[in-house]
Structures are given as C-alpha cells and as structure tokens.
C-alpha cells in the first residue's frame, strides 16, 4: 500500500499525541454511570488536541477530506487508546455524520450543523435504529416505523428510536423517518429538543462512547423544511453514503485499539515468568502472539483494500460488508487472546485490555452483525449465479 507523505505526517502527529497525552487519561475517574467518559473529560482532551494540531485530522483546513486510504492511516493511530478517537474527534457517530453532511448537506446545513462538529465543539447522534420489541428498524431499515408528514413549511416526526449512540448530551441530531410514500427522509435538528425525550440509557458491554446508547421517544417533533438533508424519499440512499465508510472507520479505530492491546500482552508475556521461563517461551503463549501478528496484518490489509475501493467512488457496499466481517472477527480473536495470555490481570482494569475485549465484542454487532453481512453476501452470490446462468 502507498500512503502519501501528507497522511504519514498527520498519522505520526496523531500517534505521538495519543501515546503521550491521551493514554494517561485512561485512568481519569471522570466517567458516567456505566464507565463512559464524561463530556468534561472529552472536551478537555479536545482542547489539547486542538493545541497539538491533531483535532479532526482527517478533514483538512480547506474542508477537503483525506482519501479513505489516508484516513485509515490516521484513524488506526487515533485508536491506539479507547479515548484517542474522542480526543481527536474521529469517533463514531460524529465521524460518520461529518462525512455524510459533507457529501449531502446544503451550504446552510454545512455551516450550521457541520461546522461545530468539525471544530470539535459539539457531539452528534444518528437516529435510525428502532426498538426490536416493536418490530422497528435495526439491521433492516425498511422496517422503519418512525413517520414524517408535511405540515406547511415544516415536517412533523413521530416514533421511537433505540440504541442511539451519544443522544444524551448531543447538540446535533440526524433523524431518519418514513414519509407517506414509504420513502425515507433525513432531518437535521438542534438538540436538546423537548419533542425528543430520552426514555432510557441502558448499561451495555461497551463503555467508550459518551451518552451511551439511548432509547428515545420522538413525539410531534417539528422541523423546518429547509432542515431536510437532501431530497425527500432519498434517505435510504443517503444512509448508504454514510454506512460503508462508517463501517470501515470502525474497523480502523478498533484495529488501533487491538494493536495497543497486543503491545500490552506482548510486554506482559516477555516480562512474566512461570514454570521456569518467560511466558513468551511457552509454546501456547508464543503461538497466540504469533497468531495475533497474523490477524493484525490481515485486518490492516483488508481495511486498505476496502478503502481503495471506496476511493474509486464506489459505494463499496459488498466490500465494506466483507471487511466488517473479516476485521471484526479477527479483532475479536486478538482481544480474546490478549485477555487469555494475561490471565487474571487481563480481566481487570489495570490495563485497557479488558475494555478492548468488551468494545470489540460489541463491534461484532453494531453497524450490522456478522451474520447479517454474511446473509447479504450470500444473496449476492445467488444473484451473480443467476445472472451468469442467464448469460
């Protein structure tokens, strides 16, 4: 893979910042009820990132976006700490939302809603997923039950959303709903809004994202018509613009975390002695470290391949599904081995290894569970088979 000197320079500065400035914050006690960093902690780190010139490093000063390959080089390094993407403003859902608004937003929307996100002075939330117990949209967005109807120069939105990452404390919301024709629409809203009420923020296995994953009631939300993102009925298309790069960005960030977990486990295995020799010299441990090296490299190459496809202008739907499955499953193996090699220490909060294990376990579900992506790929295989027989 060929990485530009521009991206190499940005990546080096990001890595130095994360290792030197962000890592010490991992023991900072400013956390919410289930261990996620508070906004006070996030914005303190962001001010230091701003001073170091590594805030929102994937979006350049003129508004231009790094290529996906360059973005991978940078975001992997921002992920060397679970706090790194928050500090550098490369974290989900903001990173994906910034990408979408930059691609689809009108000049007014970009000035009003995108600029504060790029500047790292606001957080955002993407309101798409709905409660499973109500049969709402999850991995299948066509099941969306949230509705929007035109009322003069406004749209009125009603519904419930679930697992809305960062909704608690967000200033910018992108709300997705179905119109009377069954097409999807997206709307930009200022938060908080009295018509958007957080009902519940569950404790979840992951704890890296401020605001958690809320269940939200949207009750008679009135949105000015000029705050619709793009055109009415095109929401599902816009979701695809966002989802493939966002899936890949998750892979980038969590690869960075697993690189760090592997470093910690390797150091432990080379220092710790048991049964007359260092752990690394026991074949069972040494082989796990070797398997980690292989999985890390395969994940890196899979990300680079998919990024290259996206850089051609393709939506990369198939490729991003393949990458999401391959990378998330590889990272799960890596994180699990790191915990196993470190024994009792690996399941404590003495290092970030146990958190990385929890975060990557959740990653196998969000942005599409592994099984959904495999099912989608199997459908493509069948379509291609039919097409080939027809030819």
**Any idea where the domains of the chain sit in the sequence?**
5-91, 124-232, 236-386
- Could you tell me how many residues make up the chain? 391
Say yes or no: domain 236-386 is CATH 1.20.140.10: yes
pLDDT for res 63: 81
Biggest CA-to-CA distance, the chain: 79
pLDDT per residue, tens digit, the chain (391 aa), is 678 999 999 999 999 999 999 999 999 999 998 899 999 999 999 999 999 999 999 998 888 899 999 999 999 999 999 999 999 999 999 999 999 999 999 999 999 999 999 999 999 999 999 999 898 888 888 899 999 999 999 999 999 999 999 999 999 999 999 999 889 999 999 999 999 999 999 999 999 999 999 999 999 999 999 999 999 999 989 988 888 999 999 999 999 999 999 999 999 999 999 999 999 999 999 999 999 999 999 999 999 999 999 999 999 999 999 999 999 999 999 999 999 999 999 999 999 999 999 999 999 998 889 999 999 999 999 999 999 998 7
Q: Are 14 and 74 in contact (CB under 8 A)?
A: yes
Q: Can you tell me the distance from the alpha carbon of 80 to that of 253, in angstroms, rounded to the nearest whole number?
A: 8
Q: Output the CA–CA distances (angstroms, integers) from residue 27 to 24, 47, 52, 79, 352, in the order listed.
A: 6, 19, 21, 17, 10
> pTM (2 decimals)?
0.95
Nearby residues of 364 by Cβ (< 8 Å), 6 or more positions away = 328, 329, 332, 370
Same fold, 124-232 and 236-386: no
Nearby residues of 269 by Cβ (< 8 Å), 6 or more positions away = 278, 279, 280, 285, 286, 289, 341
Give per-residue pLDDT as tens, 114-136: 999 999 999 999 999 999 989 88
Q: Which helix (H) or strand (E) holds 288?
A: helix 283-310
pLDDT for res 2: 78
Q: Can you tell me the distance from the alpha carbon of 320 to that of 334, in angstroms, rounded to the nearest whole number?
A: 20
How many helices and strands in the chain, by DSSP H and E? 12, 9
pLDDT for res 326: 98
The conformation of residue 160, written as its DSSP 8-state character, comes to E
Give per-residue pLDDT as tens, 281-327: 999 999 999 999 999 999 999 999 999 999 999 999 999 999 999 99
Q: DSSP string covering 210-279, please?
A: TT-EEEEEEEEEEEEGGGB-SSTTBHHHHHHHHHHHHHHHHHHHHHHHHHHHHHHHHHHHHH-EETTEEG
Nearby residues of 36 by Cβ (< 8 Å), 6 or more positions away = 207, 208, 209, 210, 211, 212
pLDDT for res 1: 62
pLDDT for res 140: 84
Q: Can you tell me the distance from the alpha carbon of 225 to that of 70, in angstroms, rounded to the nearest whole number?
A: 36
Return the CATH number of the domain spanning residue range 124-232. 2.40.110.10
């Amino acid at each position: 893979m060929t990485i530009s000197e521009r991206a190499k320079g940005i990546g080096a500065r990001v890595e130095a910042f994360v290792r030197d400035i962000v890592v010490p914050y991992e023991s900072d006690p400013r956390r919410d009820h289930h261990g996620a960093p508070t906004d006070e902690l996030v914005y303190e780190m962001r001010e230091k990132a701003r001073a170091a010139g590594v805030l929102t490093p994937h979006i350049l000063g003129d508004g231009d976006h790094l290529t996906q390959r360059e973005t991978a080089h940078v975001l992997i390094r921002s992920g060397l700490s679970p706090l790194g993407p928050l500090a550098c403003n490369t974290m989900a859902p903001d990173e994906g939302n910034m990408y979408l608004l930059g691609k689809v937003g009108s000049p007014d929307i970009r000035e009003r809603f995108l600029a504060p996100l790029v500047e790292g002075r606001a957080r955002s939330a993407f309101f798409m997923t709905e409660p499973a117990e109500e049969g709402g949209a999850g991995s299948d967005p066509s099941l969306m039950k949230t509705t929007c109807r035109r009322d003069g120069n406004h749209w009125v939105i009603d519904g419930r959303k679930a697992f809305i990452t960062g909704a608690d404390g967000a200033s910018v919301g992108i709300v997705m709903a179905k119109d009377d024709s069954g097409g999807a629409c997206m709307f930009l809203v200022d938060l908080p809004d009295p018509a958007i009420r957080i009902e519940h923020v569950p404790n979840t296995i992951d704890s890296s994202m401020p605001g958690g994953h809320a269940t939200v009631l949207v009750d008679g939300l009135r949105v000015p018509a000029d705050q619709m993102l793009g055109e009415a009925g095109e929401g599902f298309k816009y979701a695809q613009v966002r989802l493939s790069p966002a899936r890949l960005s998750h892979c980038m960030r969590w690869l960075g975390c697993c690189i760090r977990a592997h470093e910690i486990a390797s150091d432990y295995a080379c220092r710790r002695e048991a049964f007359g020799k260092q752990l690394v010299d026991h074949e069972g441990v040494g082989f796990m470290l070797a398997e980690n090296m292989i999985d890390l490299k395969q994940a890196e190459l899979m990300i680079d391949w998919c990024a290259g496809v996206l850089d051609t202008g393709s939506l990369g739907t198939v490729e991003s599904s393949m990458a999401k499955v391959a990378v998330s499953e590889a990272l799960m193996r890596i994180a699990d081995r790191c915990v196993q090699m470190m024994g009792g220490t690996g399941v404590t909060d003495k290092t970030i290894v146990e958190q990385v294990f929890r975060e990557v376990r959740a990653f196998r579900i969000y942005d599409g569970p592994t099984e959904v992506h495999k099912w989608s790929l199997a459908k493509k295989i069948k379509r291609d088979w039919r097409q080939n027989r027809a030819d």
